[in-house]
Amino acid sequence: MSTELIQSFLSTLPDLPGVYRMISAKGDVLYVGKAKSLKKRVGAYAQLEKNSLRIQRMVGETAAMEFVTTHTEAEALLLEANLIKRLKPRYNILLRDDKSFPYILITGDHDFPQVTKHRGARDRKGEYFGPFASGFAVNETLAVLHKAFLLRNCSDHVFALRTRPCLQYQIKRCTAPCVAKVTHRQYAEQVDMARQFLEGRSRAIQEEFAGKMQTASDNLDFEEAAAYRDRIRALTQIQAEQTVNVEGLDSADVFAIHRDAGASCVQVFFFRAGQNFGNRAYFPRHEKDETTAEILSAFIAQFYTNKPVPRDIIVTDDVEATEVLEQALRDKAGYKVSIARPQRGERKQLTDMALKNAREALARRMADAQAQEVLFEKLAEVFGLDAPPERIEIYDNSHIAGTHTLGAMVVATPEGLQKNAYRKFNAKSDITGGDDYGMMREMLSRRFQSLLKAEGEGETPVWPDLLLIDGGQGQLSATMETLAELGIDGLTVVAIAKGPDRNAGREKFFMPGRDTFSLPPDDPVLYFLQRLRDEAHRFAITSHRARRSKAIGATPLDSVPGIGARRKKALLLHFGSAKAVAEAGVADLQKVTGISKAVAERIYAFFHDTDS
């Protein structure tokens, strides 16, 4: 970007808060930034000599800019964080691996609430507790809830169909409300106790259980007393693992950052109702010259774009523009949010613990990266590559008796498996059942035609340095023929076939122009290649199961215009099957709740090939 171009923007920019985007000549967003004054911030880019080399390089690549004004700087910060997460600009600090967190849900849409794990949009009626750092932490807590409070974990559908108690009742993990072994009022008391536990009031529940255990013992009802003893033990165990006795700490997240050799780890601990709900390590992408305060500020802003904000945020280091970030989070949450860096006391002990975890996590990641680097170098030696590969693509097929055939591609780089780059290919051509070669040709044709098309449109797609094909000489031949038809050469292709009796460790490798060869069973390169092949197979099988399950659940009603999930459910419940719906007359169809005369005529016309 020239100084003249920046000056042309300045002539129209207001002295107001807002967000700006720097865009390359190809249309890619290079950077998203926020400013208290758009005019002053953009004007600073014109003074290239005062900017770092990274900023100078970014400005040099910028061909256009876009601007959005906001009412406040805090509003600009929230918009910036959302745009960064969505657009993933090359020059921004970027929160990576931002998966959704699991919650515990006590459902609110049933007379006998279910307690279950929930992930994703919180759109089901009920009470949510969390977030928990991992599914393991949720499962551990759920196990205690079922053992201590005997709540159901079955779905509403299973609940409605039960005619006798299930195994959960037999092993004293549920009171069987499905068959009226407990009254509505008694079950509501169980739910209330579970709620109190999740809100951090477990001591009172333990005392109540202890009193009931003593009463049962006094009455010589030792079986009842033993049941309460087991419930108390379950509560005690989880308390020992989760309870954190920090005065005044109710709902808080702790952010600890450790930096080394240009990389960073941010360790996040979750505390809710005085309980530790686990922790997770993140490794944000950033440049070496960016400050710790900048990294932590950008990380926190992006972190809460799709998560509830606690009242207290505790950090190990200073955060850039703390007041603006607090205001932005306050605007999002609807209540006061405090960001504090404790210097002493129990909260300082929490940050020290989190920092220790961050330091250890970064050390492990760097050690893994070094080991991975060595592994990729050895991989280049084994397959005769000029340099260690930067991108490996692994391909596999999946089908059952030739049905629902699909192909799968997974991607590995020196940084690990890149799951956001995985792709699946549903068969589109007329492939006969079990034709692995035909599916391999179709999958590779579609994959590499898209790369060629992108290049033809002036884009710069990322090509693989190494193709790994699950199979033997036949799959290799199909791959090489497909690439030749597309005019692609210079790619290293390796087919990896399981050994005799499909034994791991006896794999054979096929490459064009080389004799078939194997690697020693204890070779780390072989183990690495096995993991890559198994990951491709796992992804293919998982995708295939999902597709098959969807197909199993499909009915002819799915194709009827204007019939959504609610009407389809009503029709199936009324008639019992899609076939019965297809055979029903207009008058019978109108008897179903939600089916008007017009809709009934549309359904009848669909199945009887008449005009609606």
Q: Residue range 281-295: average pLDDT?
A: 91
| Tally of CB atoms within 10 A around 262 | 9
Q: Residue range 377-387: average pLDDT?
A: 93
561 three-class SS: coil
- What confidence tens digit (pLDDT) does each residue in 85-107 have? 888 898 999 987 667 788 999 99
- What confidence tens digit (pLDDT) does each residue in 222-277 have? 877 887 787 777 777 665 555 555 666 778 999 999 998 888 999 999 888 777 78
- pLDDT tier for residue 371 given thresholds of 50, 70 and 90: confident
Dmax (CA) of the chain: 92
Q: Which one has a higher pLDDT value, 146 or 486?
A: 486
- What confidence tens digit (pLDDT) does each residue in 314-364 have? 999 999 989 999 999 999 999 999 999 999 888 898 899 999 999 999 988
- 168 close to 153: Cβ distance less than 8 angstroms: yes
Residues 540 and 561 in one domain: no
| Tally of CB atoms within 10 A around 569 | 12
User: Does the pLDDT of residue 512 top 80, yes or no?
Assistant: yes
Q: Does residue 374 belong to any structural domain of this protein?
A: no
Residues 63 and 125 in one domain: no
Supply the pLDDT for residue 612.
38
> What is the share, in percent, of the chain residues with pLDDT greater than 70?
91
- What confidence tens digit (pLDDT) does each residue in 51-78 have? 788 888 888 888 888 999 999 999 999 9
Residues 563 and 543 in one domain: no
Residues 192 and 283 in one domain: no
Please state, rounded to an integer, the average pLDDT across all residues of the chain: 85
How many domains are contained in the chain? Answer: 5
User: Does the pLDDT of residue 502 top 70, yes or no?
Assistant: no
Residues 217 and 300 in one domain: no
Q: Does residue 375 belong to any structural domain of this protein?
A: no
Supply the pLDDT for residue 401.
45
Q: Residue range 530-542: average pLDDT?
A: 88
- pLDDT tier for residue 383 given thresholds of 50, 70 and 90: very high
- pLDDT tier for residue 499 given thresholds of 50, 70 and 90: low
Q: Does residue 77 belong to any structural domain of this protein?
A: yes
Q: Does residue 177 belong to any structural domain of this protein?
A: yes
Q: Does residue 346 belong to any structural domain of this protein?
A: yes
**Tokens read off for 605:** 């016309």
111: domain range?
102-242
Q: Does residue 386 belong to any structural domain of this protein?
A: no
Show which of 59, 87, 115 is a domain's final residue: 87
| Tally of CB atoms within 10 A around 40 | 12
Residues 427 and 285 in one domain: no
CA-closest candidate to residue 234, choices 292, 275, 173, 320:
173
Residues 532 and 562 in one domain: no
Residues 445 and 525 in one domain: yes
Q: Which one has a higher pLDDT value, 572 or 182?
A: 182
Residues 193 and 273 in one domain: no
CATH of the domain at 25: 3.40.1440.10
Residues 304 and 444 in one domain: no
Residues 204 and 56 in one domain: no
* Whether the bond into 89 is cis, omega within 30 of 0: no
Q: Does residue 97 belong to any structural domain of this protein?
A: no
User: Does the pLDDT of residue 152 top 70, yes or no?
Assistant: yes
Show which of 551, 567, 597 is a domain's final residue: 551
- pLDDT tier for residue 611 given thresholds of 50, 70 and 90: very low
Show which of 87, 110, 134 is a domain's final residue: 87
Lowest mean pLDDT among 134-143, 385-394, 449-458: 134-143
CATH of the domain at 564: 1.10.150.20
Residues 129 and 66 in one domain: no
90 three-class SS: coil
- What confidence tens digit (pLDDT) does each residue in 574-589 have? 877 778 888 888 888 8
CA 246/CA 237 separation, integer angstroms: 19
User: Does the pLDDT of residue 550 top 70, yes or no?
Assistant: no
CATH of the domain at 448: 3.30.420.340
Q: Which one has a higher pLDDT value, 339 or 372?
A: 339
433 three-class SS: coil
